[in-house]
Amino acid sequence: MSDLLVSGGQVLRPDRTVERADVLVDRDSGEILAVDDPGELGGDDDLDADGGLVIPGLVNAHTHVSMTLLRGYADDKPLDRWLQEDIWPVEAELTAEDIRVGAELGLVEMLKSGTTLLSDMYFHVEEIADAVEQAGLRAVLGYTAVTVGKDDEGAHADLQESLDVARELDGAADGRIRTTFQPHSLTTVGESYLREYVPRAVEAGMAVHLHANETTDEVEPIVDEHGVRPLSYADDIGLLGPDTFLAHCVHVDDTEIDLLAERDTGVVHCPASNMKLASGMAPVQRLLDAGVTVGLGTDGAASNNDLDMFDEMRDAAMLGKLAADDASAVDAGTVVEMATHNGADLLGFDSGRIEAGANADLAVLDLESPHLTPAHDLVSHLAYAASGSDVRHTVCDGQVLMRDREVTVFDETAVRERASEHARDLVERVTGDGE
Ligand SMILES: [Zn+2]
pLDDT 10s digits, 148-165: 999 999 999 999 999 999
What tens digit of pLDDT does each residue of 86-143 get? 998 999 999 999 999 999 999 999 999 999 999 999 999 999 999 999 999 999 999 9
- 187 pLDDT band (50/70/90 cuts)? very high
Split at pLDDT 50, 70, 90, the class of 435 is very low
191 pLDDT higher than 80: yes
Strands 207-212 and 244-248: parallel
> What letter represents residue 310's amino acid?
F
SS3 231: helix
How far does residue 297's CA lie from ligand 1's centre (Å)?
9
Q: Which residues of 285-315 are buried (b: 16+ CB within 10 A; e: fewer)?
A: bbbbeeebbbbbbbbbbbbbbbbbbbbbbbb
Q: Could you give the C-alpha distances from 356 to 53, 242, 351, in angstroms and in order?
A: 17, 26, 11
Give mean pLDDT, residues 253-272: 98
- Helix spans in 79-228 (H): 79-81, 88-91, 96-112, 125-135, 152-169, 191-203, 220-226
Share the mean pLDDT of the chain: 97
**Is a pLDDT exceeding 90 seen at residue 316?**
yes
Mean pLDDT of the region 266-280: 97
Distance (Å) from CA 300 to ligand 1 centroid: 6
pLDDT at position 79 is 84
Asked if 408 and 400 touch (Cβ cutoff 8 Å), the reply is: yes
Q: What angle do CA 335, 283, 388 make, to 5 degrees?
A: 30
pLDDT number for residue 1: 57
What band does 433 get if pLDDT is binned at 50, 70 and 90?
A: low
Query: How many Cα atoms are found within 13 Å in the side-chain-facing hemisphere of 314?
Result: 10
pLDDT at 95: 97
Is the pLDDT reported for residue 275 higher than 80? yes
The answer to whether 122 and 99 are in contact (CB under 8 A) is yes
Distance from Cα 63 to the centre of ligand 1, integer Å: 6
Omega of the bond prior to 283 within 30 degrees of 0, cis?
A: no
Residue 323, classified by CB atoms within 10 Å of its CB into exposed (0-12), middle (13-18) or buried (19+), is: buried
Distance CA 253, CA 258 (A): 9
pLDDT over 90 at 432, yes or no? no
Q: Can you list the alpha helix ranges (DSSP code H) found in 188-267?
A: 191-203, 220-226, 230-237, 254-263
Query: Above 60 in pLDDT, residue 40?
Result: yes
- 385 CA distance to ligand 1 centroid (A)? 26
**Measured distance CA(178)–CA(113) in Å, rounded:** 22
Q: Percent of the chain, pLDDT > 70?
A: 99
User: 120 C-alpha vs ligand 1 centroid, how far in Å?
Assistant: 9
What is the CA(184)–ligand 1 centre distance, in A? 9
> 363-409, pLDDT tens digit by residue?
999 999 999 999 999 999 999 999 999 999 999 999 999 999 999 99
pLDDT of residue 308: 98
How remote is the CA of residue 136 from the centroid of ligand 1, in Å? 23
133 Cα–ligand 1 center, Å = 22
- The pLDDT of residue 78 is 87
Distance 119 CA to ligand 1 centre (A): 10
